[in-house]
Structure 1
């Protein structure tokens, strides 16, 4: 399959630059963009300080029946994954995992929590407020 590439177009910003569009992500050019973003982010924030966080629900035999996995950085934690085994769902385990995850993050100085995944947005909202979330949104919970 050949790549489709447009002829260079004059840049509306500078007469010495040209802009090309592609139907793929050429590896060399993509690497330049990735490296540029990495250098910018490293200069702007100490991303090497991002640290993992997790908690797990276990059955009496020690088997994992649920888990909350995420990360923390500075005063913020992010819950990235929440899972409960099908036979253990709708028993409050997910909500308990979220509470345990937040409590553990607080021991590291975190005062704000974010969740981005739609699979558990409604369940977290329900666990917190007793209502149902009907729209997609990013929840940011800040401890006072």
Structure 2
């Protein structure tokens, strides 16, 4: 991966029931579960990643970990497609590139529990939610 290359890593879907949603993705679309359900307390979430053998990216199923979670408020508003995530070769350069293109940071970099490396969230000018994933060791590496 070159320094400023953005590669689709996963598409995040917000669901109220990960087990039920996982079954739907497996039965309807041929995805396979790629790991266990992971609790990410920092993100107030539980996540599960699925992958289709024909795809280079994952689908991430996300549920809130409590009624007080910001994710629960999004679920209550019927949000489904939650975010797109990109793996980048140069995390600092990617942050600057997104800022220069009008994306608004939603906090500081933090370690993502599923990936065991830094992530950072942005709103893009079209109000889409974008997650950056830093390079480095950890699970869920793009091929």
Give the structure with the larger strand fraction: 2
TM-score (norm 1): 0.27
Structure with greater Cα Rg = 1
Give the structure with the larger helix fraction: 1
